[in-house]
Chains A and B, each alone.
Chain A
């Protein structure tokens, strides 16, 4: 088994009186693709944001590279963040910078990479996601899917040890979801360690090495995709998967989607066991 990259132990987070994470423990090993699913408000985003310390955990420990980063000083925390990539639902590209500058800003400022070198690397990565010709464009000149691909490249340019994704396709028009998921699949194939929060069950099923079901601030279920999607479940997980299934069916029957969408949704439906 590959070595452990992140060891999370009894992680708790509360906002004032609201306990959002109620003691999470798990390990993330090198090269793993961990997919988190769960109902809204279950704490998936909060968990992800605690991993790179965008949120300061209330208690518990996160051991990364041999040190407990929860108690680290500010400088160490900055370094740790620079070694973890994060992709947001709303892309969060820097609108005042060109695509190239969006990508090279952090390598140059944080790692002190020379401009030429940073730009060469950025161009290579852009080439890999098929956006070479957009290097000198500004973010608002790109489609949602293109923006998210650039956001992924921006994270990759820092050569992170792990990539965190928080619903990277949820803000996209359906026809653009595929191009982003393809990039992510490619990353997974090349051995990138990834933690992905998503509602794309097909992606979870195809790509995940492990699926976590987060509910009420705890890891309610955990297992391989086959264990999660391939069997019938009691309790909340069953309810959740059934609801996802039902929603998709409703969408198709209500005929509110384009034909292309419908096709995509249907394949998704086919691959999921009926939980009813």
Chain B
């Protein structure tokens, strides 16, 4: 059946050539250049070739085939021209003639004029900003074999570079141009890597080639090409949405098996398949979990340290009028920290206060520790104030200094009284660290986001990240409950103070 159809096609093709039809060979799976809209092949390349046919006064048809067959089709004469997002390469030039390129895309380096970029050797080992999940991201990962600094957008990466947070930014030419426009301190390099798409014709068909070149020049000049690019980019985006929606609804009898299979595929893609540097993608989550735990635990400890000092200073002032100056300083600290969003504090720490500090983990620990310190201080202060004044008197009467009494007698009881509130603060802090992506630090949440950007799979990465957080929090809650029970079993009932 297939063979018969193929034979029929060949005959038709040959006939149509004679009858004044321009036949285009293409593989219609490369939107927006060529893709199927229903049964019809549409796209930028199709429009270009149709324009060529019109110029030649011929009818036009597009023929869909494997990409590997597209160039052989023009060589063999089964098709007149091939346009399928074909990149000009020296190998291909040996077999076919190429038109002038109609599209050139690629990635470039954005650099500061104060620190000029000369060649790609400069990039090795440097901090390079990219938009997460783009070709540039892949280039740094696969060609330079290093981890880029990932940002939400190219302008954000450029802002980070201007703040001295990375040396270079690599981006696609179009967004790169946008960034440099109006920013006199920035400049663009030539293409780091680029691809030029052109139309291929059989060797020796000079007339046809000339017609193709004229057409391309014309559609470039009069803006038609730009319009096609815009229209078909939008069109292919719309189709993609519709396609995925219908794919979900067209689940036939064995939908369970299909779902299972697709889950397994997704799992492989998201977690097991090697990313650019050769390790499985799941390592983003493993390493991210490490960063999350590292930042959260260190910040909790730092917050406890700050919290204790501030709480003791404030409670001492409340109760005995000690440390008036330190108490005022503490109050200002509490007001500022509790009055501004955590994200803003993180960004200010990163871009302004600690702009010369290299380690983002350290920056995150400091920002979160200082933030949590304020909340822990207020919790602990309430704890200290809940302790009967007789405890302090008993300690002092035995000859202990104020600080010793605080440390050995008041604080242990205060902590026990506020342990649930303190534990809650630890949990909030642990989850709050998920915003470190703002300073391009890859924690658990950002790790999941990177996998999503590389695989376009949303469910598995995000749901897995959520599950890991949940397990972390539940483990922590369980440990805290154990500690509380332990303290309850050994110490006095916290509400009674006449001991």
A interface residues with partner B (beta carbon < 8 Å) = 52, 54, 74, 78-79, 81-86, 88, 90-96, 105-106, 109-110, 138-140, 147, 154-155, 158, 171
Contacts and interface: CB of A to CB of B under 8 A. Distances in A.
Given A105-B408, A138-B490, A92 B393 contact: yes
B259 interface: no
B399 A158 contact: yes
Nearest to B397: A86
Interface stretch (B163-171, B409-417, B432-440): B409-417
A94 B400 contact: no
Contacts of B412: 96
Contact of A105 (B398, B416, B496): B398
Nearest to A94: B409
B394 A147 contact: no
Contacts of B498: 90-91, 171
Nearest to A140: B492
B223 interface: no
Contacts of A93: 394, 499
A95 B413 contact: yes
Interface in B394-426: 394-401, 404, 408-409, 412-413, 416
Nearest to B416: A96
Interface residues of B, number: 26
| Interface class of chain A by DSSP | mixed
B399 A81 contact: yes
A91 B496 CA distance: 13
Given A92-B390, A105-B408, A81 B397 contact: yes
Contacts of A54: 393, 396-397
Contacts of B390: 88, 90, 92
A192 B492 CA distance: 32
B493 interface: yes
Q: Which residue, of B408, B491, B498, has the highest number of chain A Cβ atoms within 10 A? A: B498
Given A109-B404, A139-B499, A82 B398 contact: yes
A85 B397 CA distance: 7
Given A88-B390, A96-B491, A106-B400, 15 more contacts: A74-B401, A84-B397, A90-B388, A91-B499, A93-B499, A94-B395, A94-B409, A95-B413, A95-B499, A96-B413, A106-B399, A138-B490, A138-B492, A158-B398, A158-B399
A94 B393 CA distance: 11
Contact of B394 (A82, A84, A94): A94
Q: Which residue, of A84, A105, A155, has the highest number of chain B Cβ atoms within 10 A? A: A105
A96 B394 CA distance: 14
A81 B395 CA distance: 10
Interface in B347-401: 388, 390-391, 393-401
Nearest to A80: B399
Nearest to A52: B397
A75 B368 CA distance: 38
Contacts of A110: 398-400
A78 B399 contact: yes
B400 A92 contact: no
Interface in B470-499: 490-493, 496-499
Given A105-B408, A109-B408, A138-B490, A92 B398 contact: no
B492 A96 contact: yes
Contacts of B497: 95
A147 B499 contact: yes
A88 B408 contact: no
Contacts of A79: 399
Contacts of B404: 109
Contacts of A140: 492-493, 496, 499
B498 to A, nearest CB: 5
Contacts of A96: 409, 412-413, 416, 490-492
B323 to A, nearest CB: 14
Nearest to A84: B397
Contact of B492 (A74, A82, A95, A171): A95
A106 B404 CA distance: 10
Contacts of B396: 54, 81
Q: Which residue, of A85, A90, A155, A171, has the highest number of chain B Cβ atoms within 10 A? A: A90
A78 B401 contact: yes
A240 B468 CA distance: 73
Nearest to B404: A109
B398 A95 contact: no
Contacts of A83: 399
A74 B400 CA distance: 11
A110 B398 CA distance: 8
Contacts of A74: 401
A112 B397 CA distance: 17
A108 to B, nearest CB: 10
Contacts of B499: 91-95, 139-140, 147
Contacts of B388: 90, 92
A94 B492 CA distance: 9
9 contacts: A82-B398, A90-B390, A92-B390, A92-B391, A92-B499, A94-B395, A94-B409, A96-B413, A96-B416
A114 B490 CA distance: 24
